[in-house]
Amino acid sequence: MKAMVDGIWHTDAQPTPEWRAAAERARFSGRISADGSSGFAAEPGRYHLYISYACPFAHRTLLARRLLGLEGAISLSVLDPDWSGPDGWVFNDGPLATPDHVNGCATLPEVYRLADPRFTGKVTVPVLWDRARGTIVNNESAEIMRMLATEFRAIGRPEVDLYPEALRAEIDRLNAFVGPRINGGVYRAGFAATQEAYDAAVLDLFAALDVLEEQLSGRQYLAGERLTEADLRLFPTLIRFDVAYYGALRCNLRRLVEYPCLWAYTRRLYHLPGIAETVRLDHVKRHYWDDHAMINRRIVPIGPTLDLGEAPTAAAA
């Protein structure tokens, strides 16, 4: 796989148990706090977000930034959706990316090396960079979202509360369900190494979608009648489902449009103010039909299912 080992970029790194342990220890897990007690104070103009429109995990942080009104407080650089080149995520001044507006790097591995010259692990988006300390604060999308939603309330739109106190237990329950079974489920199916692993993963994914279809039959949003963080964690997977995961990752038992409640919910979120502008399906398609060596093309996809019905009449034929 493409990864860094002791600060050196490799296109064919071998994920040994020792490598995985080192990669987990090397993850950036700093925390921004409103009062600055964590060492990273919530200040306008201090932080920079590196994202790809193709990546659903980066997308959720972009959604939070937009809905919380933090565009003027947190700047942005966009990486090219084509990931198959030797450098992985890259910057450019073409139509699908931007330059690195803060560090002037050509690739995302260079940004990671600036933060930790001996970094070992995968180089992923999103990345939240601190201009003041010259380092990566955090590269875990769920943690970045939560910090934006809770620690930047006084800077953005304080009337928008994505993690309200009264709904936190329900939001946490939903995140614990959606994260592994749907956000991660599409990848467990798509990157399965064996037919048996694929079959189990894809059936679990669609069982989870069935559960949410039932839940959304009686409510507007996942946690009830208001938009929350839980919706922003689910939406990026749903909006990519039919255009990417159905085909490229073989999640093709059913299309999302065949789920009436989930499809209505996806369209409802898409048309909320500010959300459509964060969706770039041209980036998504380019990325997922890129050269992903991790996909075992010998695995037979589960669908699509066909209902051939009865033989048509001569006139209908």
Q: Which residues are catalytic?
A: 55, 187
Distance CA 7, CA 161 (A): 39
In whole angstroms, give the CA distance from residue 23 to residue 19: 6
Using the Cα atoms of residue 176, residue 182, residue 186 and residue 192 in order, give the sign of their dihedral: positive
- Look at residue 37 and give its three-state secondary structure: coil
Secondary structure (3-state) at 287:
helix
Residue 97 · residue 89 · CB < 8 Å:
no
Cα gap 276→260, rounded to integer Å: 20
Strands 32-33 and 40-41 turn out to be parallel
- From CA 142, how far away is CA 217, in angstroms rounded? 26
Chain centre to alpha carbon of residue 14: 24
